[in-house]
């Protein structure tokens, strides 16, 4: 297993999407375990494939605009055993949201974002078996919270960009200045 290089904000690579996984093989499994090792080494709760430098083990015939040569995969360490979620998506969510104060391996600051209270997630494991799981009260159920955070990454959304939702231009400017100062440290 290897420690992968994590991409930090601001970086346009974090705002692209990964390619859907159609081949479930040893290459995917090895990459998933490298992601697990990286997450543990960084004391993280989860990691999305889009957060690390493109892995040369994966080859795609063509990559559409807005996508990267990375498989759609996340690691969630908030379960009793690590979850490797391939091609994950939120099928349903509650209208009710809550404020969540979060950190991120790709963002050097803690920010507050809105998250859904309840979600239903669909994903495949490393062998391709499909799962559908319901997570209630994600404010206290961190497994569901990590799914929301990491699935955002796979949509090209970081907590850095999510925190800017609803800010007026002056608030956004102040936020960006604060981030720029933090990145100089």
Active site residues: 150
Q: Do the Cβ atoms of 13 and 50 come closer than 8 Å?
A: yes
Q: Do the Cβ atoms of 182 and 109 come closer than 8 Å?
A: yes
Spatial distance between the Cα atoms of 53 and 34, rounded to a whole number of angstroms: 12
Spatial distance between the Cα atoms of 172 and 166, rounded to a whole number of angstroms: 9
Spatial distance between the Cα atoms of 179 and 46, rounded to a whole number of angstroms: 22
φ, ψ of residue 77 in degrees (nearest 5): -95, 5
């Amino acid at each position: 297993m290897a420690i992968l290089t994590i991409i930090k904000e601001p970086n346009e690579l974090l705002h692209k999407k990964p390619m859907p996984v159609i081949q479930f093989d040893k290459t995917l499994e090895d990459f998933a375990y490298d992601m697990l090792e990286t997450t543990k080494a960084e004391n993280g709760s989860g990691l999305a494939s889009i957060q690390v430098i493109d892995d040369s083990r994966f080859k795609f015939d063509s990559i559409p605009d807005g996508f990267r040569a990375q498989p759609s995969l996340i690691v969630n360490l908030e379960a009793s055993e690590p979850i490797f979620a391939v091609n994950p998506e939120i099928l349903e969510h509650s209208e009710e949201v809550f404020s969540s104060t979060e950190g991120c391996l790709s963002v050097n600051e803690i920010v507050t974002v809105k998250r859904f209270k309840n979600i239903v997630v669909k994903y495949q494991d490393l062998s391709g078996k499909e799962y559908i799981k319901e997570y209630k009260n994600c404010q206290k159920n961190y497994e569901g919270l990590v799914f929301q955070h990491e699935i955002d990454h796979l949509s090209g959304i970081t907590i850095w960009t999510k925190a800017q939702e609803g800010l007026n231009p002056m608030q956004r400017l102040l936020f960006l200045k604060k981030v720029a100062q933090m990145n100089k440290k």
